[in-house]
Amino acid sequence: MNNYEIHNLVKGCEILSVLADRPEGISAIGLEKLVGVPKTTAFRILKTLCSQEMAEKRGTLFFAGPGLIQIGLNSLRSLEIRSLSIPFLSELTAKTHFTAHLAIPSGWQSLILEVHDSPNPVRVASRSGTTVPFYCSSTGKIFLAYRFEQELEDYFSATSLQKHTDNTIVTLPEMLKEVEQIKSDGFAIDNHEFHTDVWCTAAPIRDSRGQVVAAIGVTSPASQSDRQKKTDTCMYVKKAAEELSAVLGFNV
């Protein structure tokens, strides 16, 4: 076993896997035998999972709980959004000649799910799987504005914010003003806030419930972005976000 693994956490994950694979339910004794844990350990793990709604008990049987099911649905939704975004990312790149990307929130980071590279020899791009901080990225600021606005104060008090450039926003009053602007415009801008020579913009993707579940945006070298180009790019990104949201079932 890896020295850094937590034994009971590993067993908890194994129990969750068993529950997910047993829609008919399974008894505590059955779980003990399958996972190979003592009765008292299985009891404590199951009690914890039930308290977190990852499992639920009906009579003598245990089932996957609503929390576990929701995690699975969210994962499927992310895969669906990633697949559906590809033609929109391709079109954005064709229109702007910049690198287009799709991101989702992951903790207090913006996780890049899909990237469509610019055809230009000089381009800026992050790879799929890259994470960037919320406060200094255009996709991250979308999530702060539309998903975590009520938690901004906690975010700024609990997170160590590094000033990457002179433009990086690191105070709560500045970000509150930024959020107000984002909601007014319908898009966010990284104005050379993460890298001095990079400009980005992003807009929110909504699902059928109207919840912002992702952000679509573009990244460009500063040298390729004059004022009119930036204005046009923001409108292209906003339109792509609206169209992808409609595909996901969102009605304005």
Q: Which CATH number among 3.40.50.620, 1.20.1250.20, 1.10.10.10, 3.40.50.970 corresponds to the domain 7-64? A: 1.10.10.10
Each domain of the chain, given as residue ranges in start order, spans: 7-64, 74-247
Examine the pLDDT at 1 and tell me if it is beyond 60.
no
β 61-64/26-27 pair status:
antiparallel
Residue 206 host element (H or E): strand 198-206
DSSP H helices, 27-104, are 28-35, 39-51, 66-96
74-247: CATH class = alpha beta
Read off the pLDDT of each residue in 40-46 and give the average, rounded to a whole number: 90
User: CB–CB of 81/113 below 8 Å?
Assistant: yes
Number of neighbours of residue 78 by Cβ within 10 angstroms: 17
Residue 79 has pLDDT above 80, yes or no: no
- Please say whether the beta carbons of 38 and 32 come within 8 A: yes
The phi-psi region of residue 122 (left if phi > 0; otherwise alpha if psi is between -120 and 50; otherwise beta) is beta
Mean pLDDT across the stretch 17-29?
88
Q: Is the pLDDT of residue 4 over 80?
A: no
> 97 and 118 in contact (C-beta within 8 Å)?
yes
Q: pTM to 2 decimals?
A: 0.71
